[in-house]
């Protein structure tokens, strides 16, 4: 069994609730979306076996968790399931970064995952379609574990889409941290004003709302 792997490396998580945590990143190649703001355009990968990926992971010491990221790691579900199962048996904390659309695939590995970092892909931000239905089904599965949701806010992001995101999270009785992340390519006064307004609105309905930029970009880390 092989998977298309762009890279395996150790660094610091730059986004979301676990910003600043040391992680080993396994970056899977390929995605089912093509978001306008994507900052990980991948053009190279290796077809690696499970043993080859594990050897790379275990070459690193002293880290909080293993981040299964991409691309979209859930696309390669058979390999991902075997990898996560083995890592779990070895006592590793499994951190899944995902676009939150492939809920059927998530259900196949949820028992091996500890933390889920899920993106909301709003139409006005991504220039893609409407994924609110997929996001709702995804959260139904993800909430069996620790999960937080991140929304990248662009100049194009509409209040209507932000409101839908808040309403969706508010429809679940479980508390889910909501991360409002500025698009790193568009930081200016206009975007800052929008972020501030979205943060204020979201805080009226959700108990844990945070503004968090990309730490690794600010620090010029990988």
CA distance 128 to 121: 8
pLDDT of residue 185: 85
User: Any idea of the CA torsion for 124, 129, 135, 136, to the nearest 10 degrees?
Assistant: 100
Residue 213 has pLDDT above 90, yes or no: no
pLDDT (mean) for 173-187: 93
Is the predicted pLDDT of residue 39 greater than 90, yes or no?
no
Side by side, the strands of the sheet bearing 177-182 are 46-49, 2-12, 22-28, 65-69, 94-98, 115-120, 146-153, 177-182, 209-211
Percent above pLDDT 70 for the chain: 97
Q: Is residue 217 pLDDT above 80, yes or no?
A: no
Distance (Å, whole) CA 96 – CA 113: 7
Q: Is 141 within 8 Å of 113 (Cβ atoms)?
A: no
Residue 120: enclosing H or E segment and its boundaries? strand 115-120
DSSP 8-state symbol, 71:
S
Q: What is the pLDDT of residue 214?
A: 81
pLDDT category at 190 given cuts 50, 70, 90 is very high
Handedness of CA 155, 157, 163, 165 (dihedral sign): negative
Instruction: Give me the pLDDT at residue 41, please.
Output: 73
Tell me the per-residue pLDDT of 127-138, one tens digit each, with 9 for 90 and over.
888 999 999 999
Q: What pLDDT band is residue 184 in, cutting at 50, 70 and 90?
A: confident
Q: Tell me: pLDDT of 220 over 70.
A: no
Q: What is the pLDDT of residues 93-122, one digit of tens each?
A: 999 999 999 999 999 999 999 999 999 999
Q: What is the pLDDT of residues 48-89, one digit of tens each?
A: 999 999 999 999 999 999 999 999 999 999 999 999 999 999
Residue 112 is predicted with a pLDDT of 98
Q: Is the pLDDT of residue 162 over 80?
A: yes
Domains located in the chain, CATH noted: 2-218 (3.20.20.70)
């Amino acid at each position: 069994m092989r998977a298309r792997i762009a890279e395996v490396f150790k660094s610091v998580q730059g986004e979301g609730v676990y910003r600043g945590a040391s992680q080993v990143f396994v970056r899977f190649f390929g995605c089912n979306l093509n978001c306008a703001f994507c900052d990980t355009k991948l053009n190279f990968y290796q077809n690696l076996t499970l043993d080859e990926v594990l050897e790379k992971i275990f070459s690193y010491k002293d880290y909080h968790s293993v981040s299964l990221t991409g691309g979209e790691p859930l696309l390669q579900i058979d390999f991902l399931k075997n990898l996560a199962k083995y890592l779990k048996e070895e006592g590793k904390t499994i951190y899944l970064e995902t676009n939150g659309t492939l809920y059927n695939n998530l259900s196949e590995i949820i028992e091996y995952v500890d933390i889920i970092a899920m993106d909301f892909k709003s139409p006005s931000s991504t220039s893609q379609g409407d994924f609110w239905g997929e996001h709702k089904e995804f959260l139904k599965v993800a909430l069996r574990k620790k999960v937080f949701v991140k929304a990248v806010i662009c100049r194009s992001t509409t209040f209507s889409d932000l409101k839908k995101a808040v309403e969706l999270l508010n429809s679940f009785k479980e508390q889910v941290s909501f991360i409002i992340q500025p698009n790193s390519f568009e930081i200016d006064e206009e975007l800052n004003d929008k972020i501030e307004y979205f943060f204020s609105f979201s805080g009226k309905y959700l108990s844990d709302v945070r503004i968090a930029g990309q730490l690794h970009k600010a620090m010029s880390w990988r």
